[in-house]
């Protein structure tokens, strides 16, 4: 049986790893002006909302995870990426809703 303490400990560990990953990668993918500028630029290029770009990346990440699982692998890094894409997607949706473009 899995206890709530085990779940909380696992959650804390996974979220800390996801947090560290987004800190590291955030510096690689964007600048301090707007960390979400890449999603916005791709959205303009593709005539889509930035959140739709993020949803596309979520979908790609999901399918990559499923492929790894089908090979009996646990895609731990991809799970952390998925968490981070969810956070970024929520930020983009918040911006779109407050700016009235959704």
Calpha distance 76→61 (Å, rounded): 12
Least Cα distance to 86 among 6, 22, 9, 10 occurs for 22
pLDDT of residue 28: 73
Q: What is the pLDDT of residue 34?
A: 85
Q: What is the pTM of this model?
A: 0.86
> How far is Cα 94 from Cα 39, in angstroms, rounded to an integer?
14
Asked if residues 92 and 39 have their Cβ atoms less than 8 Å apart, the reply is yes
CB 17 within 8 A of CB 62: no
33 and 26 in contact (C-beta within 8 Å)?
A: no
- pLDDT band, very low/low/confident/very high, at 29 (cuts 50, 70, 90): low
């Amino acid at each position: 049986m899995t206890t709530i303490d085990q779940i909380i400990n696992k959650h804390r560990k996974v979220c800390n790893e996801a947090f560290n990953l987004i800190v590291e990668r955030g510096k690689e993918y964007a600048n301090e002006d707007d960390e979400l500028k890449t999603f916005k630029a791709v959205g303009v290029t593709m005539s889509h909302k930035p959140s739709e770009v993020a949803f596309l990346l979520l979908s790609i990440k999901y399918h990559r995870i499923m492929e790894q699982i089908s090979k009996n692998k646990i895609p731990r890094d991809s799970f952390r990426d998925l968490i981070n894409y969810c956070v970024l997607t929520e930020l983009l949706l918040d911006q779109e809703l407050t700016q009235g473009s959704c």
